[in-house]
Amino acid sequence: MTAIDLRAPESEHAILSVRGLVKSFGGLKAINDVSFEAQAQQVTALIGPNGAGKTTVFNLITNILPKDAGKVMFLGRDLSGLSAVKIAELGLIRTFQSARVFPGMTAIENVMVGGHRLAAHSLPSQSFWLRGARDEERHLRRRAEEMLELVGLLSFAQSHASELPMGAQKLLEVVRALMARPKLLCLDEPAAGLNDTETRELANLLRAIRSLGIPVLIVEHNMALVMGVADRIVVIDSGNLIAAGTPGEIQNNNRVIEAYLGRDDAAS
């Protein structure tokens, strides 16, 4: 039987183009020829069963892990050889599976850190607290307060970030990433640890981000969240691309159903 090529044709309008990613750990091929795109003003979801390789794909995109083969293009630029820091400077901003907050800093200080990537004033200007630096800091603080209010965390602005519940820390990480004004926001399981109310707030936030024209690439296990916010879904199983399409197409895809439920359950 001839294999079906699931890869979308390469688009010149893609924000992110992933082509032929391959990664092995020892003798195990964790990622096998995975290709997909993230388009402007869309939420693209990367889903799959536990251990499918979703976070590994994220780590290959951002060069946290070296790839064995393949190419990643971001806004037309090949990311090969670039450090994770340089990739972030280009505007590809990501979060991690486990919430990462800066200990010893308040919630609002954590959010403000995201905005310092775009600071216009030099270190000497900031060190001597010159007027321009003071004005910039006040502007950052106002933006950070707006971000915290957006996700219902403004009342925790002066609380130590590490003392917040895990769900609040996850939301904090998302808004910190937004402070960096991403050209593509990559979120690794942002709903992990969130209760139902927090998950609804996250869904509203993702829709708001999309309405602002910021594309999002999201790895997520919460299917209700994915189906409610994603424009396009990419599915991998055991490191292989098995499906790609709209939420409606994915919900009715037999290969996806089989991957999540198992062959016997899917047949029944």
What mean pLDDT comes out for the span 156-170? 91
> What confidence category does residue 35 fall into, taking pLDDT thresholds of 50, 70 and 90?
very high
Q: Is residue 35 part of a domain?
A: yes
What total number of domains does the chain contain? 1
Instruction: Please give the residue range of the domain that contains residue 79.
Output: 14-267
How far is 27 from 171, CA to CA, in rounded Å?
A: 37
> What confidence category does residue 150 fall into, taking pLDDT thresholds of 50, 70 and 90?
confident
CATH no. for residue 196?
Answer: 3.40.50.300
Q: Is residue 3 part of a domain?
A: no
pLDDT digits (tens, 9 = 90+) for 198-241: 888 889 989 999 998 999 999 998 999 999 999 999 999 999 99
Q: Is residue 40 part of a domain?
A: yes
Q: Is residue 60 part of a domain?
A: yes
pLDDT given at position 101: 87
Q: How many CB atoms lie within 10 A of CB 233?
A: 27
Q: Is residue 55 part of a domain?
A: yes
Q: Is the pLDDT of residue 247 over 80?
A: yes
Q: Is residue 2 part of a domain?
A: no
What mean pLDDT comes out for the span 158-177? 90
What mean pLDDT comes out for the span 14-21? 96
pLDDT given at position 198: 86
